Amino acid sequence: MTEHQHSSRGGHQFERGTDGPKVIVVGVDGSDSSFRAAAYAAGLARRQHALLALVYVQPVLTAGAAFGAPVAEATDGIAEDLIAQIRESTEQVKGIFDVRWEFHTLRGDPYTGLVKAADDLKADAVVVGTSEQAGHRIIGSVAVRLVKAGRWPVTVVP
């Protein structure tokens, strides 16, 4: 049997996303909902034998918020603490669910960062927690914007 005949019979070539996700991106930011999303995504990754990519998008200070070095340094310090907390939590998730996982950090706004990560990693699915910020109603939550992008299946975990 030739290679062409084999693949035309539905052999080893699968369309992206139709054979279950192989790369699952989950956004984590230290909030309770993002840790619930990570736990959900880890369970999904375990069942699908997929790679779990935990992505933290570190916010960049706007010019108006950066009044001086102490503010910027404090923000960086908080970010480092958050990264440490996320890493510690992912270690716990790793132990419980025994999945292949990676941890990625980017700088920028959460939506753009998650889109970039999902594109770069060729994600088959994206998982996020519900927004815990009141301001998301004005500019749209990250979850709603990801769904509207229509590029991957998006799961929103409460």
111-124 mean pLDDT? 94
DSSP run (H or E) holding 125: strand 125-129
- Asked if residue 143 has pLDDT above 50, the reply is yes
Q: Which of 120, 121, 113, 134 is nearest to 29 (CA)?
A: 113
The total number of residues shown for the chain amounts to 158
- Is the pTM higher than 0.75? The answer reads no
Residue 3, amino acid: E
| Tokens standing for residue 145 | 């914007």
How would residue 23 be classed by pLDDT, with cut points 50, 70 and 90?
A: very high
Delimit the domains of the chain by residue range. Answer: 23-156
Q: Which of 59, 5, 71 is nearest to 30 (CA)?
A: 59
Q: Which of 53, 57, 56 is nearest to 118 (CA)?
A: 53
The pLDDT value given to residue 80: 74
DSSP run (H or E) holding 51: strand 51-58
3-state class of 157 per DSSP? strand
Q: pLDDT: is 140 or 7 the higher one? A: 140
- Asked if residue 11 has pLDDT above 60, the reply is no
State the Cα angle at 115 between 148 and 85, rounded to 5°.
115
The pLDDT value given to residue 27: 92
State the Cα angle at 133 between 132 and 136, rounded to 5°.
115
Homologous superfamily in CATH for domain 23-156: HUPs (3.40.50.620)
Q: pLDDT: is 115 or 30 the higher one? A: 115
Sign for the pseudo-dihedral over CA of 134, 68, 58, 93:
negative
What pLDDT, in 10s, does the model give residues 56-66?
888 776 555 55
92-113 mean pLDDT? 79
| Tokens standing for residue 47 | 């069942």
The pLDDT value given to residue 128: 93
Mean pLDDT rounded to a whole number for the chain = 75
Q: pLDDT: is 91 or 7 the higher one? A: 91
The pLDDT value given to residue 127: 95
Q: How far is CA 108 from the centre of its chain?
A: 14
